[in-house]
Homo-oligomer: A and B are copies of this chain.
Amino acid sequence: MIRRHPLAEQAAEELLRRIGSGEWALGAKLPGETTLAAQLGVGRSTIREAVRELAGRRVLESRQGAGVFVIALQAAEDWDKVLRKADITDVLEGRLAIETEGARLAASRRTPGDLKNFRYTLADRKRAAANAPDDWYIEADLAFHRAVVTAAHNAVLTELFDTFVPRIRRAMVDMLKLDDEHRHRHDQAAHEAIADAIRAKDPELAAARARDHLSAVRSSVS
């Protein structure tokens, strides 16, 4: 699948390149639209669209009457892209870091509502593991893991986990295709154990169990 790049996108890339190369410092004002258009050999509206694209990526900001200004020296990391490129093992290790710490904190901070979440999501997961289609099982599994991270009551950790979810989901789909025996579905006990440790307010145990579970997953794919 080849992809043609419109002039406006090429112009945006060129501007981004120049910003990265230090041609314009942070906070600097770019030349006027007509000047830029002449420099790059394109029309003014093309430059406007390029600037608008970089504005969407929070690199440029234009102010009517004043000019276009650099507000970041590089595009914010496109996490979905980073994670797509990353090795599955790398992603799993990132998840391991987040969920282990999440389980540890959850053991100290879990509320009655969190425990209720555990009951629901674990029951769902058990049913799904028994006879549901793959995608149901995947969603049920993810729901429990998310419940654990949520119980840590840390917005950053939750956000990190959510960022990982699409990538985890794809990895699980691939794993399930290669696994005729449905071996992985049998680790319901490991999930119950994590929930038990959090319920018992034992941070170290919860962290250890989360770590062991995810380490086992990592071993099974590598």
Q: Which residues of A contact B (CB under 8 A)?
A: 4, 6, 8, 12, 45, 48-49, 52-58, 64, 76-80, 82-83, 85-87, 90-91, 93-94, 96-98, 100-102, 105, 152, 154-157, 159-160, 162-163
Contacts and interface: CB of A to CB of B under 8 A. Distances in A.
26 contacts: A8-B52, A48-B49, A49-B49, A49-B52, A52-B52, A52-B56, A53-B56, A56-B56, A56-B57, A58-B78, A76-B78, A77-B79, A77-B162, A85-B155, A90-B154, A90-B156, A93-B101, A93-B156, A94-B157, A94-B160, A97-B98, A97-B100, A97-B101, A97-B102, A97-B157, A160-B160
A78 to B, nearest CB: 7
Q: DSSP class of A's interface residues: helix, strand, loop or mixed? A: helix
Given A101-B100, A163-B77, A86 B155 contact: yes
A48 to B, nearest CB: 6
Given A86-B156, A94-B157, 4 more contacts: A48-B49, A93-B101, A97-B100, A97-B102
Contact of A154 (B76, B94, B162): B94
A131 to B, nearest CB: 28
Nearest to A158: B90
Contacts of A83: 156
Given A94-B156, A97-B97, A97-B98, A76 B87 contact: no
B82 A156 contact: yes
Nearest to A45: B45
Given A101-B93, A101-B96, A156-B94, A55 B58 contact: no
A152 to B, nearest CB: 8
A87 B159 CA distance: 13
A91 B12 CA distance: 33
Contacts of A96: 101
A2 to B, nearest CB: 12
A111 to B, nearest CB: 17
A64 B157 contact: no
Nearest to A153: B90
Contacts of A52: 8, 49, 52-53, 56
